[in-house]
A = this chain, B = another copy of it.
Amino acid sequence: MNINQDLFATFAFHAGLMAVKTLGMAFATVKQRISNNNVMTKEDASMRPGAKIGVGVNEDVERVRRAHQNDIENIFPFLTLGFLYLFTNPALSTATSVFRIFSGARIMHTIVYLWEVPQPSRAIAFFAGMGANLYMGYKVLSTFASAM
Protein backbone atom coordinates (compact mmCIF):
# COMPACT_ATOMS: atom_id res chain seq x y z
CA MET A 1 0.00 0.00 0.00
CA ASN A 2 3.02 2.31 -0.15
CA ILE A 3 3.51 4.31 -3.29
CA ASN A 4 6.55 5.96 -4.74
CA GLN A 5 6.96 9.56 -3.59
CA ASP A 6 7.73 10.93 -7.09
CA LEU A 7 4.68 9.16 -8.47
CA PHE A 8 2.47 10.69 -5.79
CA ALA A 9 3.96 14.14 -6.37
CA THR A 10 3.15 14.00 -10.08
CA PHE A 11 -0.42 13.02 -9.34
CA ALA A 12 -0.74 15.68 -6.64
CA PHE A 13 0.39 18.41 -9.04
CA HIS A 14 -1.95 17.44 -11.87
CA ALA A 15 -4.92 16.69 -9.60
CA GLY A 16 -4.43 20.04 -7.84
CA LEU A 17 -4.15 21.82 -11.19
CA MET A 18 -7.32 20.23 -12.53
CA ALA A 19 -9.29 20.97 -9.33
CA VAL A 20 -8.22 24.62 -9.41
CA LYS A 21 -8.94 24.83 -13.15
CA THR A 22 -12.50 23.60 -12.50
CA LEU A 23 -12.97 26.15 -9.70
CA GLY A 24 -11.79 28.83 -12.15
CA MET A 25 -14.82 28.21 -14.36
CA ALA A 26 -16.95 29.97 -11.70
CA PHE A 27 -15.03 33.19 -12.37
CA ALA A 28 -15.47 32.79 -16.14
CA THR A 29 -19.22 32.44 -15.52
CA VAL A 30 -19.34 35.55 -13.32
CA LYS A 31 -17.47 37.52 -16.01
CA GLN A 32 -20.03 36.49 -18.66
CA ARG A 33 -22.95 37.19 -16.33
CA ILE A 34 -21.66 40.73 -15.76
CA SER A 35 -20.88 41.35 -19.46
CA ASN A 36 -24.33 40.16 -20.46
CA ASN A 37 -26.22 41.50 -17.43
CA ASN A 38 -27.75 38.11 -16.68
CA VAL A 39 -28.19 37.09 -13.04
CA MET A 40 -29.40 33.82 -11.57
CA THR A 41 -31.92 34.77 -8.90
CA LYS A 42 -34.13 37.63 -7.87
CA GLU A 43 -31.98 38.50 -4.84
CA ASP A 44 -29.03 38.94 -7.24
CA ALA A 45 -31.10 41.29 -9.38
CA SER A 46 -31.33 43.71 -6.46
CA MET A 47 -27.61 44.37 -6.98
CA ARG A 48 -27.97 44.80 -10.74
CA PRO A 49 -31.14 46.66 -11.65
CA GLY A 50 -32.44 45.80 -15.11
CA ALA A 51 -30.63 42.46 -15.25
CA LYS A 52 -32.27 39.53 -17.00
CA ILE A 53 -32.97 36.83 -14.40
CA GLY A 54 -32.64 33.13 -15.06
CA VAL A 55 -30.93 30.19 -16.65
CA GLY A 56 -30.78 29.74 -20.41
CA VAL A 57 -31.46 33.37 -21.32
CA ASN A 58 -27.95 34.25 -22.57
CA GLU A 59 -25.95 31.99 -24.89
CA ASP A 60 -22.53 33.31 -23.78
CA VAL A 61 -23.34 32.53 -20.15
CA GLU A 62 -24.69 29.09 -21.07
CA ARG A 63 -21.54 28.30 -23.06
CA VAL A 64 -19.34 28.78 -19.97
CA ARG A 65 -21.76 26.77 -17.85
CA ARG A 66 -21.64 23.88 -20.34
CA ALA A 67 -17.82 23.96 -20.33
CA HIS A 68 -17.94 23.93 -16.52
CA GLN A 69 -20.31 20.96 -16.52
CA ASN A 70 -18.04 19.11 -18.95
CA ASP A 71 -15.15 19.61 -16.51
CA ILE A 72 -17.30 18.20 -13.71
CA GLU A 73 -18.14 15.15 -15.81
CA ASN A 74 -14.51 14.45 -16.76
CA ILE A 75 -12.16 16.02 -14.20
CA PHE A 76 -13.90 14.74 -11.05
CA PRO A 77 -13.64 11.07 -12.17
CA PHE A 78 -9.96 11.78 -12.99
CA LEU A 79 -9.30 12.91 -9.41
CA THR A 80 -10.21 9.41 -8.19
CA LEU A 81 -9.02 7.32 -11.16
CA GLY A 82 -5.62 9.08 -11.13
CA PHE A 83 -5.21 8.32 -7.42
CA LEU A 84 -6.21 4.65 -7.75
CA TYR A 85 -3.97 4.32 -10.82
CA LEU A 86 -0.96 5.09 -8.56
CA PHE A 87 -1.58 1.69 -6.90
CA THR A 88 -1.41 -0.25 -10.19
CA ASN A 89 2.38 -0.02 -10.17
CA PRO A 90 2.81 2.19 -13.26
CA ALA A 91 6.23 3.38 -14.48
CA LEU A 92 6.80 6.99 -13.38
CA SER A 93 7.37 8.09 -16.99
CA THR A 94 4.12 6.46 -18.16
CA ALA A 95 2.08 7.95 -15.34
CA THR A 96 3.58 11.40 -15.92
CA SER A 97 2.67 11.18 -19.61
CA VAL A 98 -0.90 10.09 -18.89
CA PHE A 99 -1.40 12.93 -16.38
CA ARG A 100 0.12 15.50 -18.77
CA ILE A 101 -2.07 14.33 -21.63
CA PHE A 102 -5.14 14.61 -19.42
CA SER A 103 -4.28 18.08 -18.08
CA GLY A 104 -3.32 19.36 -21.53
CA ALA A 105 -6.46 17.97 -23.12
CA ARG A 106 -8.78 19.51 -20.54
CA ILE A 107 -7.13 22.94 -20.75
CA MET A 108 -7.42 22.76 -24.55
CA HIS A 109 -11.05 21.69 -24.22
CA THR A 110 -11.94 24.85 -22.32
CA ILE A 111 -9.99 27.15 -24.64
CA VAL A 112 -11.61 25.61 -27.70
CA TYR A 113 -15.07 25.72 -26.13
CA LEU A 114 -14.97 29.33 -24.90
CA TRP A 115 -13.27 30.74 -28.04
CA GLU A 116 -15.67 28.76 -30.25
CA VAL A 117 -12.88 27.11 -32.26
CA PRO A 118 -14.52 25.06 -35.06
CA GLN A 119 -15.06 21.36 -34.61
CA PRO A 120 -13.51 18.78 -34.51
CA SER A 121 -11.16 20.66 -32.11
CA ARG A 122 -13.43 20.22 -29.10
CA ALA A 123 -14.13 16.57 -29.94
CA ILE A 124 -10.38 15.84 -30.15
CA ALA A 125 -9.69 17.53 -26.80
CA PHE A 126 -12.64 15.70 -25.22
CA PHE A 127 -11.57 12.27 -26.47
CA ALA A 128 -7.91 12.79 -25.50
CA GLY A 129 -9.00 13.42 -21.89
CA MET A 130 -11.55 10.61 -22.01
CA GLY A 131 -8.90 8.25 -23.42
CA ALA A 132 -6.54 9.01 -20.52
CA ASN A 133 -9.37 8.44 -18.04
CA LEU A 134 -10.46 5.15 -19.64
CA TYR A 135 -6.86 3.92 -19.82
CA MET A 136 -6.45 4.50 -16.07
CA GLY A 137 -9.88 2.97 -15.44
CA TYR A 138 -8.84 -0.16 -17.35
CA LYS A 139 -5.61 -0.41 -15.34
CA VAL A 140 -7.47 -0.02 -12.04
CA LEU A 141 -10.20 -2.51 -12.88
CA SER A 142 -7.81 -5.15 -14.25
CA THR A 143 -5.44 -4.77 -11.27
CA PHE A 144 -8.18 -5.06 -8.66
CA ALA A 145 -10.63 -7.34 -10.48
CA SER A 146 -10.04 -10.18 -8.03
CA ALA A 147 -11.39 -7.96 -5.21
CA MET A 148 -14.73 -7.53 -6.97
Contacts and interface: CB of A to CB of B under 8 A. Distances in A.
Interface of A: 1-3, 5-6, 8-10, 12-13, 15-17, 19-20, 22-23, 25-26, 40-44, 46-47, 55-56, 62-63, 66, 68, 72-74, 76-77, 79-81, 84, 87, 116-120, 122, 130, 133-134, 137, 140-141, 143-148
Each complex incorporates copies of this chain amounting to: 3
B134 A43 contact: no
Which one of A81, A120, A146, A148 has the greatest number of beta carbons of chain B within 10 Å?
A148
Contact of A72 (B2, B42, B62, B76): B76
A interface majority secondary structure? helix
Contacts of A148: 10, 13
B46 A119 contact: yes
A26 B73 contact: yes
Given A13-B148, A76-B76, A140-B16, A118 B23 contact: no
A78 to B, nearest CB: 8
A16 B72 contact: no
